[in-house]
Each structure stands twice: as structure tokens, then as C-alpha cells.
């Protein structure tokens, strides 16, 4: 293992994480953010899978959520503290979501992303998502459009081959516990 590889921890989110999650949520989304009650409800939603990411120093620095409905997963959110961005943490959270989809036999993954969020769009594209339309004025805080993105069937060789390649690159930078 290389010495410059950082070890992070991703675990299922629990109630003890919610204060830290809300602080990240408020910073990432401003006045238009989910409430603590919304996250609490998600933790009790049997279709929801939420994760907390801890940096090597033990600080909660990111979270992600998804719903599993039949053969589809819908990513509800991925957010990382601003000072911890560009360290591959969002990518690690996306990997966790995709890995769980493989375990749960979920075939397709979808999400909406702001049309102006180029770093996120580039990440999703790197992981095999494609744009399949736009939701006009989707975001209530500024009426920004949302790009609708989907994967092909994640069990198809084309997706799996790309996934293995990008995960290998990620693994050279981050060790996920």
C-alpha cells in the first residue's frame, strides 16, 4: 500500500450522525436544505440507505443517501464539507452506493443534479451515468433546471468494466473501511 493513500470510513448513517449531517447539509445547500426531521424520517424508511463518511481524523465530512425501489436506486443526495472537497470523498460515497446496488441486485441508478454542477456531472459521467433529460425549474431556491441522469444496467459488462477501472483508480488514492 502506498503511503499517500488516505483511510476513510463509510458506515450506515445513524441518529448520532444527524447533527454533523445537518451542518454539512446547511453549508452545501444554504437556506434550501433538508431538515433534521427529514433525515430522521429517512433513517426509519425501509427503502432508504444513508451513509456517513469519516475522514482519517474521525471527523464526519460527508454523507449520501439513496432509495432502493424494485430494480432501481434513486440517489437523493451526496454532500461533502467544503474544506474536504476534491479529495475523492464524494466519489467514495458514490462507490458505496453502487456496491450496495450490486449486493441488492439493483439494476439501474438514477439521480437529478443541478445543470450548473459540473464537478458532480463529471463524476457521474465518469461512473457511467448518462443524461436522459431535464426537469425544468426543479430546484425551488433558484428555479434552476435539473439534469436527469441514469446508468445502463449495472450488471452489463460495459458498465462493470468501466466501474472496475474507475474504482481501481480511486483505490490508489483512498482506502475505504
Q: Which amino acids are annotated catalytic?
A: 112, 124
Give the residue, 3 or 127, on which the prediction is more confident: 127
CATH level 2 (architecture), domain 6-176: 3-Layer(aba) Sandwich (3.40)
Which residues contact residue 139 at a Cβ distance below 8 angstroms, ignoring those fewer than 6 apart?
Answer: 32, 114, 145, 146
| Short-list 47, 61, 131, CA closest to 90 | 61
Q: What is the mean pLDDT of residues 144-151?
A: 92
Compute how many other C-beta atoms are within 10 angstroms of the C-beta atom of residue 81. 19
Tell me the CA distances in angstroms from 154 to 35, 72, 107, 174, one per residue in order: 32, 10, 5, 23
Q: What is the mean pLDDT of residues 4-28?
A: 91
Domain boundaries, the chain: 6-176
Quick check: pTM over 0.85?
yes
Amino acid at each position: 500500500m502506498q503511503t499517500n493513500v488516505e483511510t476513510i470510513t463509510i458506515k450506515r448513517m445513524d441518529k448520532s450522525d444527524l447533527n454533523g449531517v445537518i451542518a454539512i447539509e446547511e453549508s452545501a445547500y444554504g437556506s434550501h436544505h433538508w431538515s433534521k426531521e427529514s433525515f430522521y424520517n429517512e433513517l426509519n424508511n425501509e427503502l432508504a440507505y444513508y451513509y456517513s463518511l469519516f475522514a482519517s481524523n474521525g471527523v464526519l465530512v460527508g454523507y449520501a443517501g439513496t432509495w432502493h425501489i424494485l430494480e432501481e436506486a434513486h440517489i437523493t443526495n451526496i454532500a461533502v464539507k467544503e474544506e474536504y472537497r476534491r479529495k475523492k470523498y464524494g466519489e467514495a460515497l458514490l462507490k458505496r452506493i453502487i456496491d450496495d446496488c450490486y449486493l441488492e441486485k439493483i439494476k439501474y441508478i438514477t439521480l437529478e443534479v443541478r445543470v450548473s454542477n459540473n464537478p458532480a456531472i463529471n463524476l457521474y459521467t465518469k461512473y457511467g451515468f448518462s443524461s436522459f433529460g431535464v426537469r425544468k425549474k426543479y430546484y425551488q431556491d433558484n428555479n434552476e433546471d435539473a439534469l436527469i441522469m441514469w446508468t445502463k444496467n449495472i450488471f452489463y459488462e460495459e458498465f462493470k468494466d468501466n466501474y472496475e477501472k474507475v474504482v481501481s483508480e480511486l483505490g490508489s488514492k483512498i482506502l475505504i473501511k
